[in-house]
């Protein structure tokens, strides 16, 4: 069974309480369960991680690149300014799909720019937690 990392950046552990009008009422535990269940349906072993630490996220991306492990990544706020994250993604050796629960293009102007999109395989945004399901399906097709 192919392993896939689902990596999540800052504040995603706060799902369910952080701006539910934007991010929904589901919790991070709900997200993790959905990703693992979707993975099982697709024949993937899904490992879900979350961090508020940019260096830790970069380390996980290096680990994925070294292991040729596909990634579904919600970089959260790092999307808009983390060139360290962008450089780590550029080293990928397997598909990497950028995901967002909300649609950044429909929100504040500072959210319109993704510094990581150009080095990702693709981006899925605006479908709530279903963005992760769609990303896992894409990874399953690509991996």
Any idea where the domains of the chain sit in the sequence?
A: 2-142
Select the highest-mean-pLDDT range: 23-27, 79-83, 101-105.
79-83
Residue 80 marked as a ligand binder:
yes
Annotated catalytic sites, by residue?
A: 23, 100
Superfamily the domain 2-142 falls into:
Dehydroquinase, class II (3.40.50.9100)
Residue 62 marked as a ligand binder:
no
CA distances from 110 to 15, 115, 143 (A): 21, 12, 33
Q: How many CA atoms lie within 13 A of 111 on its CB side?
A: 14
Note the pTM of the prediction, 2 decimals: 0.92
pLDDT for residue 23: 60
pLDDT for residue 105: 67
Residue 111 marked as a ligand binder:
yes
């Amino acid at each position: 069974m192919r392993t896939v990392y689902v990596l999540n950046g800052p504040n995603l552990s706060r799902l369910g309480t952080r701006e539910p009008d934007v991010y929904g009422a589901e919790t991070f535990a709900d997200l993790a369960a959905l990703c693992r269940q979707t993975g099982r349906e697709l024949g993937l072993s899904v490992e879900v991680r979350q961090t508020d630490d940019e260096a830790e996220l970069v380390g996980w991306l290096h680990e994925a690149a070294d292991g040729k492990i596909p990634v579904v990544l919600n970089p959260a706020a790092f999307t808009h300014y983390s060139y360290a994250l962008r450089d780590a993604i550029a080293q990928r050796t397997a598909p990497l799909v950028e995901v967002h629960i909300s649609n950044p293009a429909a929100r504040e102007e500072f959210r319109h720019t993704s510094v990581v999109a150009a080095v990702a395989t693709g981006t899925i945004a605006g479908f709530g937690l279903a963005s992760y399901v769609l990303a896992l399906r894409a990874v399953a097709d690509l991996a």
